[in-house]
């Protein structure tokens, strides 16, 4: 038995609890976990049916939901509080009981995260009493999702419910009050760790990542945190800033890796913000035709966005991110305490990506952000990361739904390119791009609200350092341009309702960008 699995084994009074909505695969996950651990799997719903002597749909029909809920609470607490509880698959609504939520504090809780559409497809033709009417089903889903997110030590996509052994290994040594998000893609799965003090206090390193570590960093992040990642095979430093994200700097990194003796058994560690992550990941994707890398993001923009999803690359003077590769990391370590050393301007720049993600996600994340939540709150960072990972899982190669993540970036990237990547930080350019996208979407009230949120954090709401016509010209070189020459935009019907592939008339784009400069 692997060491990671041995350490995750339930002990006396400690269970592994699987939570999640209807159709998430909790019972399947519990069996997979139990098999890996040599433990016993318990299914709360099955025990309820045995105790009451009838299927759950008949319990609802003959005895009422109140009887079911009382029994659900009793059975769940009995199984969790047993001397040898093993692995317990909870009912979808069990987290609605306060005593159950309190009990879960003492156990390892894994959320099987199922998308609403998939959950409905799996449940609509079943005999589940709460899956007979779609609107009620959706209301329940949205009401319960925040509870699952709050209670979970780990969130695992429902598609992975039958292969939980790697998740157990990734949980080995997880520091207190940290979260694991399991990322799944067509090419690779990997763990994302988020928590305060993850590296700075606990010195955590993913147990499955072996080999010598070769650090790629900038002078600032390397000085502050490089020693915490020892032992290192080498340290390679670049200058901070977007101007370092070039082929010339990639050649420097490749050359230093060769001179330091890095092999394909070793791992690149990208420590820093989005520039370091993109450059380090690109060098890992291309060095010896591909080696592993670990992202250790230390800026807000990287922790909420750029560290996840496997997009790596460098800029050309003509356009941003024009040369690159899809190459998924082997792990991401997001220590939110590293944000404490960020200058206010860098933290503000990251806030633009928080707002972008919240607009895409809608729901509770948007409500948190519009209410003034601290963007560096671990709950906000985790919610942003989970939003991006869910999208990337459906479209790793940016052929469809993943393009929603480009909201605000078409104009934002054009602003960066038109100013030589020197006048605006990435997040500052995205802030302006978001305002342009909302104007093009016809969302006047929402645009005003977003402008107030951005301005309150010190982000620009007017284009002051670029020729608007040059910005419009730069949008024509966007990397998502189609063969027809048309650049598709992401527009927004409402928070949580983005649209991809939208054609924007040239006159509307010109007017919108000029308005930004007005």
The enclosing domain of 480 has a CATH number of: 1.20.1090.10
Residues in Cβ contact with 70 at an 8 Å cutoff, skipping those fewer than 6 apart: none
Cis omega (within 30 of 0) on the bond before 231?
yes
Q: How far is the first Cα of the chain from the last one, in angstroms, to the nearest whole number?
A: 66
- If asked whether residues 18 and 144 sit together in one domain, one would say yes
Domains identified in the chain, total number: 3
- If asked whether residues 136 and 239 sit together in one domain, one would say no
Calpha distance 438→441 (Å, rounded): 5
According to the model, what pLDDT value does residue 429 have? 97
Q: How many CB atoms lie within 10 A of CB 452?
A: 11
- The three-state secondary structure class of 132 is coil
According to the model, what pLDDT value does residue 12 have? 56
Calpha distance 381→402 (Å, rounded): 19
According to the model, what pLDDT value does residue 477 have? 84
Q: Which domain holds residue 447?
A: 401-517
How buried is residue 75: exposed, middle or buried, by Cβ count under 10 Å (0-12/13-18/19+)?
buried
Calpha distance 401→392 (Å, rounded): 8
Alpha helix positions (H), 197-343: 219-225, 247-260, 274-286, 300-301
- If asked whether residues 22 and 149 sit together in one domain, one would say yes
- If asked whether residues 276 and 202 sit together in one domain, one would say yes
**Which of 312, 273, 314, 319 shows the shortest CA–CA distance to 296?**
273
Give domain status of residue 201, yes or no: yes
Q: How many CB atoms lie within 10 A of CB 290?
A: 12
Mean pLDDT by 10 residues, the chain (518 residues): 48 84 98 95 98 98 98 98 94 98 96 97 96 97 97 98 96 94 97 98 96 97 98 96 95 98 98 98 98 98 98 92 96 98 94 98 97 96 98 95 96 95 95 98 98 97 95 86 76 98 95 95
Give domain status of residue 292, yes or no: yes
Boundary of a domain, candidates 113, 144, 172: 172
- If asked whether residues 338 and 418 sit together in one domain, one would say no
For residue 108, what are the β-bridge partners? 16
Calpha distance 51→59 (Å, rounded): 11
Q: Which helix (H) or strand (E) holds 365?
A: helix 363-370
Give domain status of residue 182, yes or no: no
- If asked whether residues 247 and 292 sit together in one domain, one would say yes
Q: Which helix (H) or strand (E) holds 239?
A: none
Q: How many CB atoms lie within 10 A of CB 335?
A: 26
Residues in Cβ contact with 213 at an 8 Å cutoff, skipping those fewer than 6 apart: 229, 231, 232, 233, 266, 267, 269, 294
- If asked whether residues 249 and 164 sit together in one domain, one would say no
Task: Find out whether 339 and 299 touch, Cβ atoms under 8 Å.
Answer: yes
- If asked whether residues 130 and 17 sit together in one domain, one would say yes
According to the model, what pLDDT value does residue 518 have? 83
**Which of 147, 240, 126, 168 shows the shortest CA–CA distance to 10?**
168
């Amino acid at each position: 038995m692997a060491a990671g699995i041995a350490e995750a084994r339930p002990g006396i009074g400690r269970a592994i609890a699987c939570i999640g909505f209807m159709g998430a695969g909790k019972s399947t996950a519990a069996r997979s976990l139990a098999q890996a651990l040599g433990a016993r799997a318990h299914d709360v719903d099955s025990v309820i049916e045995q105790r009451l002597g009838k299927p759950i749909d008949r319990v609802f029909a003959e005895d009422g939901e109140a009887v079911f809920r009382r029994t659900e609470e009793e059975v769940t607490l009995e199984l969790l509080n047993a001397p040898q509880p093993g692995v317990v698959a909870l009912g979808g609504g069990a987290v609605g009981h306060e005593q159950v939520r309190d009990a879960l504090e003492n156990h390892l809780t894994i959320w099987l995260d199922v998308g609403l559409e998939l959950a409905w497809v799996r449940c609509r033709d079943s005999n589940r009493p709460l899956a007979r009417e779609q609107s009620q089903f959706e209301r329940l889903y949205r009401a319960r999702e925040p509870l699952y997110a709050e209670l979970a030590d780990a969130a695992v996509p429902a598609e992975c419910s039958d292969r939980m052994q790697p998740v157990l290994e990734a949980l080995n040594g997880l520091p207190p009050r940290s979260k694991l998000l399991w990322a799944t893609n067509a090419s690779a799965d990997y763990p994302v760790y988020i928590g305060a003090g993850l590296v700075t206090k606990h010195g955590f390193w993913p147990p499955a990542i072996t080999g010598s570590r070769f650090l790629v960093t900038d002078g600032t992040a390397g000085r502050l945190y490089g020693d915490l990642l020892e032992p290192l095979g080498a340290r390679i430093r670049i200058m901070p800033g977007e101007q370092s994200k070039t082929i010339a700097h990639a050649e420097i990194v490749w050359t230093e890796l060769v001179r330091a003796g890095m092999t394909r058994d070793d791992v690149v560690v990208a420590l820093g913000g989005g520039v370091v992550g993109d450059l380090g990941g690109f060098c890992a994707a291309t060095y010896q035709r591909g080696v592993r890398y670990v992202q250790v993001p230390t800026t807000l923009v990287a922790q909420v966005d750029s560290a996840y999803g496997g997009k790596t690359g460098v800029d050309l003077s003509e356009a941003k991110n024009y040369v690159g590769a899809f190459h998924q990391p082997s792990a991401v370590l997001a220590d939110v305490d590293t944000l404490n050393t960020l200058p206010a301007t860098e933290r503000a720049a990251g806030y633009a990506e928080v707002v972008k993600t919240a607009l895409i996600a809608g729901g509770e994340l948007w409500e948190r952000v519009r209410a003034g939540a601290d963007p560096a709150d671990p709950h906000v960072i985790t919610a942003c990361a989970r939003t991006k990972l869910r999208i990337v899982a459906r479209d790793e190669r940016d052929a469809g739904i993943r393009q929603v993540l480009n909201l605000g970036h078409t104009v934002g990237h054009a602003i960066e390119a038109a100013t030589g990547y020197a006048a605006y930080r990435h997040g500052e350019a995205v802030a302006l791009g978001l305002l342009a996208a909302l104007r093009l979407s016809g969302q006047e009230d929402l645009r005003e609200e977003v402008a107030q949120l951005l301005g309150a954090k010190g982000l620009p709401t007017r284009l002051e350092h670029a020729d608007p016509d040059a910005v419009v010209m730069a949008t024509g070189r966007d990397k998502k341009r189609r063969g027809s020459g048309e650049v598709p935009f992401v527009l927004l019907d409402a928070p949580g309702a983005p649209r991809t592939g939208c054609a924007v008339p040239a006159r509307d784009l010109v007017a919108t960008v000029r308005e930004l400069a007005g």
